[in-house]
Amino acid sequence: MNPSAQKADKTIFPNPLIAQRADPWVYRHADGYYYLTASVPEYDRIELRRSRTLAGLADGERTVVWTKPLSGPASALIWAPELHHIDGKWYIYFAAAPSEEIVDGLFNHRMYVLENGSSDPFAGDWIEKGRIATAWDTFSLDATSFAHRGKRYLVWAQKAPDVEGNSNLYISEMENPWTLRGKQALLTKPDLAWERIGFLVNEGPAVLERDGKLFITYSASATDHHYCIGLLEADAEADPLDPSAWRKWDTPVFTTSEANGIYGPGHSCFTVAEDGETDVLVYHARSYKEIVGNPLYDPNRHARAQAFGWDAEGRPAFGEPLPEIS
């Protein structure tokens, strides 16, 4: 099933929002700023940007808060940072590897956490809290955190020893912002045809909650024009750790638009426009289909933003990627 489209707010953002910023994460804080972090093409550092407006992020204030070391377990391929404000402190989740080596078809990423106790994430010190320990010591990435009914959870992508493919999505309750507690539950694995093109991938989760429902978007397949966004749904009263509480949509909810010239949309997150009401999807995609060489090292996955609406049954209706604005 695919949520039917519904007319969304006519808010228009620059497209692309920011060039060469894959895996974008935008967070609107109580201080009135939009904060953005993303994978940089060099995969060597974590950069923050901020602006009073979404459009202003392109030229907004920026700072590098962490640079990879020359060696060690987190010294290569810094991917998909996310900025979160939890219990009065700032946290950045990111994935890193000890090298660019591929073994048995996979990189060697694990998930790590930075902490900053300052009220301003552009000030203070970013302290390395270390690696997030999961049930297996295997390829893992794309950690995102959310609070729900008094508990905090982590959702992430990981290779399981007994599951075919590159990565599945898992969820766990958290003891604190860098430590998991209790069981680790499987939410989804790439078992549908559109999740298995090029690579068998479920990754890049992002959480939405609205009108008594929880949603998790995620990305699937190889990072070329086949990359797309799928959807999980659960009742907000259900236990998020119960896999049976989650329904997975049979078809992707946001895909390549040949007509609009936008290819491989994925790795979404969500925010609201300056009016405080209009919901905004933030994602990355390319403006061309044919890629020379490894798609991972093609730098032109640009960060993009567009308003979206909700269908009659209260589900997000993303429509299709809008064309670039010249």
Catalytic sites, residue numbers? 23, 203
Q: Cα angle vertex 131, ends 125, 137, to 5°?
A: 170
Q: Are 144 and 80 in contact (CB under 8 A)?
A: no
- Per the rule left: phi > 0, alpha: psi between -120 and 50, beta: everything else, 244 is alpha
Q: Identify the DSSP state of 19.
A: T
Residues 6+ apart with CB under 8 A from 220: 190, 192, 194, 195, 196, 201, 202, 203, 227, 228, 229, 230, 252, 266
Residues 6+ apart with CB under 8 A from 30: none
SS3 55: helix
Q: Cα angle vertex 261, ends 322, 165, to 5°?
A: 95
Q: Identify the DSSP state of 77.
A: E
The Cα 206–Cα 318 span in angstroms is 14
The Cα 251–Cα 229 span in angstroms is 9
